[in-house]
Each structure stands twice: as C-alpha cells, then as structure tokens.
Amino acid sequence: MKERIPTYEVITFGCQMNDHDSEVMAGMLESLGYEPAASTDEADVILVNTCCVRETAENKIYGLLGRLAHLKGRRKGNLIIGIAGCMTQQPEVARKIKNRFPQVDLILGTHNLHRLPELLLQARECRERVMEVWDQAGEIVENLPIRRASKVKAWVNITYGCNNFCTYCIVPYVRGRERSRRPEDILNEIRRLVQEGYREVTLLGQNVNSYGKDLPGPISFARLLTEVDQIPGLWRIRFTTSHPRDFTPELIDTIARCPHVCEHIHLPVQAGSNRILKLMNRGYDRNYYLNLVERIRRAIPGVAITTDIMVGFPGETEEDFTQTMDLVERVRFDGAFTFVYNPRPGTPAARFPEQVPDEIKSERIQKLIERQNEITLAHNQALVGRVEQVLVEGESKTNPEMMSGRTRTNRLVIFPGSRDLAGQLVNVTVTGARLTHLEGKLAATV
Ligand code: SAH
Ligand code: SF4
Ligand code: F3S
C-alpha cells in the first residue's frame, strides 16, 4: 500500500518578519517530506508562528490554541501542534503555554527557528513534549530551505533584531540585538531569486537603514541598495521598515538615483508631540520628521509615504494628541497603520504612570482613523484617470475574476485581465478609487 504523505499547515501572526519566517518553516517541513495540507483539520503538523507586539495578538493566539487543543482531542492525539515565534521568547509566556496547553507538542523561539526539523523529529519519534527556546541569537544561519508564498515577489532578510528599544516595544526583547546579514549572502540570494523568475524583492529588517553598522568594512544600507539595484533581471526593490532617525541624505539620494528602487517609504512616526516622542525614545522630534518628509518628497517625485501611528501612550494629553492630528494633516500620509498603545510586560512604558484610560484611547483612535481614511482615499482618488505601472501578482484574493498587482508606490490595483499576466509589468489606467485599492483597466503592456 502506498504510504500517505504527511501534511502541514503554518498559521502566521504578526509582521513581515514572521510572514517570511513562516516561509522558512514551510521550507524546512517540505525538506522533511511534508506537503501543505488541504485544510487545518487534515494537517498532521500545525505550527503557529506567534506575535506579541500587542495583547490583542496574544489573545487571538490563546484562542486558537484552545481550538487546536480541541481538534487534537477529536483526532485522538494524531496531530502535532507546534508553537514558535515572538510570543514564546518571553519565558513566562512559554511556561504558561506549556502548563495551560498540554496538547502543544513543540515550543521553539525566534532564535532557534533553524532547529525546527530536529525538534519536530524528536517530538514525533519520542512522543514527548519538546521545548527549546534560546535566550540569545547565535550566528546567522544561511541557506535554509524556503517555500515562498509568491512566485513573483520575495522577502529577503537583511537585518535581524533591533537595538532601538522604543519604550513601548517588545520586539528587541523577543528578537534580540540587531545583526546584519553579510552583503554577499544577500546579493547571492537575490541573484538566485531572479534566476528562479522572481521580479521583486522586499528587503526586511526592523530598521533597515541601520543595516551594516555591525559589519566590518564600508557598507551601509544605501550601498547595499545600490548593489541590489544593479542585479540584472530584477525589476523592483522595496524595503521595510525605515526608522526616521537613520534616514541619511545619502540614502535619499540613492533611492532617487536607483531605477529599480520603488517610490514608497514606510516611515513610522508614532506620534506628533515632541514630549511623547521623547518618552518613546524615538530619537527625533516633529520638526526633524516634517523636514525629512519634505526632503524625501523633493528628491523623489511621486513618492508615497506611509506610516505607523500610536495613540494613548502613557501621559498623552489632549494637546499631545492634537499635535499628532496636526502632523497627520501636514504630512498627508498616503496610508497609515494606526494602533492603540498597549502596555507590554517588561517594557519601560508599561511601568510609566498616567496610563491613558481606554475610553479616551478609543475616542482618539476613532478620530485618527476617520481623518486618515479621508486622506488615504483622497490620495487614491487623485490617481483616477492616470496610467500606473503594475507588477501583476495573480488573481485577486477578494475577487478571483480579476487580476491584482501593485503600483510602484505599493497601491493594490484590481483589474480584469488574463491569468497569464501574472509576473508581468503592465500599464493600467486607474478607473476607480477605494480606501484599500484602486480599480483599473489594462492600457498597453510596458
Ligand atoms: N520596527 C518597526 C515596527 C515594529 S512593530 C518600527 O520601528 O517601526 C509595528 C508597529 O507596532 C510599530 O511601529 C508601533 O506603531 C506598533 N507597536 C509596537 N509596540 C506597540 C505597543 N506596545 N502598543 C501598540 N502598538 C505598538
Ligand atoms: Fe520596536 Fe522601535 Fe525597534 Fe521598531 S525600532 S522594532 S518600534 S524598538
Ligand atoms: Fe510581532 Fe514579532 Fe513582528 S512581536 S510585530 S511578529 S517581530
């Protein structure tokens, strides 16, 4: 009788780092002979890649673990549940998961992701619970297998971890100190991707612009971008996230000069009040930020600037919030992710006095979202009638009748077209604008 091929599912929470780590987990599972499961219910291994940046993420994950525990009960134990990612890097959380969810077979962290195959085999063969979380990162492990979600665009890590210690943020505690990958490893990975047919890369790091500070030799993010830009066959280069403090004039020039680097900068501002920015330990003030935006816009015509903004940081007064709204008005961001401050155990701000009451937080976030949505929509509407270059990614996720892709400024565009267009650059005339995307029709192929 033919042996059944074992199947897996990776469920991901959190940011792009986690999306990409999940691609690595999937790659490692496939190298062990696993195949993607048709549904969660059928999978032999389910891995949950977790995020702990806000409590909402953690609560969702506890809910999911409860459901998976139930599923395992129904399957009479014939299922391996693993939990990885940022949440398990907090020792008290890892302990809690271990105690509350005996159905979880495998617990690993962010620093020992590469150990997944060995640990999984151990859990599978020995039928015992395996828990291994390193409290520090080791050497960067290269050449892990990756199963990428897209055939057109790829994530490429350039740095791991973060040294900034913004006072609200848990990331440096769960991802460790900043480490840069060697430029030759990054360039080789991208060259291979191009050979495999990928056309776009997004360089990933918590703070990409501080790339290379820990490496010997004269290397900086600007220099790395220049080299990536010269790789033949690569059409588009993106990067995220940029920290305003480390955005050098050299970097602005480089982005302006490199033809393949897209005109989109995600530049989290977090707050518009100098007092709050200082308490957050962001290392810049509002004037610096406003001036940086102006310099970027002057040097890079048509650039889209998006941001992250938080309301309700401890001590945020009505006046501080007004300063944030005023900054939003002045910059007119092309888009923004908005967050309500959430105290994270172990971070300095969680211990700050004057935590803002929930009602005030929700009033402020509503005001902010409402205004930013108007601005985002106005930016999109201004594009109606224009022709945009779109890299086609495939069928639209929300409407499989349509194709979807992104403009250089990272706007999602949905348009009628043939499936063979996937992976191609096309010109699309924008016919309609929504908050989340543009609608269009094909003009001529580029
Ligand atoms: N490295 C990136 C993003 C890190 S997390 C950066 O520096 O911008 C993504 C976003 O989550 C942050 O930009 C911040 O706006 C938000 N965030 C982080 N910690 C938070 C907390 N404790 N409460 C609410 N939002 C938070
Ligand atoms: Fe967190 Fe600040 Fe680092 Fe971003 S730069 S990951 S917000 S500590
Ligand atoms: Fe979350 Fe970890 Fe990213 S905490 S936001 S998944 S780095």
**Which pLDDT tens digit goes with each residue over 344-372?**
999 999 999 999 999 999 999 999 999 99
pLDDT confidence of residue 101: 93
Pocket test for ligand 3, best of 10, 11, 13, 15 (most atoms within 8 A of CB): 15
Q: What is the pLDDT of residues 38-47, one digit of tens each?
A: 999 999 999 9
Is the domain defined by 293-382 classed in CATH 3.40.50.300? Answer: no
Please determine, for residue 445, whether its predicted confidence score (pLDDT) is greater than 90. no
- pLDDT-based confidence at residue 1 (cuts at 50, 70, 90): low
Q: What is the mean pLDDT of residues 212-231?
A: 95
Looking at residue 189, its pLDDT comes to 98
Which residue, among 10, 173, 171, 8, has the nearest Cα to 83 in the 3D structure? 10
Residue 444 has pLDDT above 80, yes or no: no
**Cα(110) to centroid of ligand 3, in Å?**
10
pLDDT of residue 168: 98
Per DSSP, the three-state class of 254 is helix
Cα distance between residue 224 and residue 209, in whole Å: 10
Place of tokens 């809690």: 96
Evaluated on CA atoms 74, 77, 82, 83, the torsion sign reads positive
**139 C-alpha vs ligand 2 centroid, how far in Å?**
22
Which residue is closest in CA terms to ligand 1's atom 14? Answer: 308
Q: Which ligand is in closest contact with the Cα of 178?
A: 2
Q: Report which of 70, 71, 54, 67 is spatially closest to residue 13, judged by C-alpha positions.
A: 54
Give the three-state DSSP class for 129: coil
Sign of CA dihedral 147, 47, 7, 117: positive
Quote the percentage of the chain above a pLDDT of 90. Answer: 93
* The domains spanning 150-262 and 293-382 adopt the same CATH topology: yes
54 lines ligand 1 (CB under 6 A): yes
| pLDDT over 70 (residue 2) | no
CA dist 215 and 220 (Å) reads 9
- C-alpha 392/C-alpha 36 separation (Å) is 25
The CATH number corresponding to 7-132 among 3.40.50.12160, 2.40.30.10, 3.40.50.2300, 3.50.50.60 equals 3.40.50.12160
pLDDT surpassing 80 at residue 23: yes
Q: Taking residues 78-88, what's their average pLDDT?
A: 95
For the segment 376-382, the average pLDDT, to the nearest whole number, is: 98
Mutate to test the pocket of ligand 1, among 13, 16, 19, 53 (most ligand atoms within 8 A of CB): 53
pTM across the whole model:
0.96
Query: Is domain 150-262 in CATH 3.30.300.10, yes or no?
Result: no
Q: In this structure, which ligand is nearest to the CA of 344?
A: 1
Fold classification of 387-445 (topology level): OB fold (Dihydrolipoamide Acetyltransferase, E2P) (2.40.50)
d(CA 158, CA 227): 13
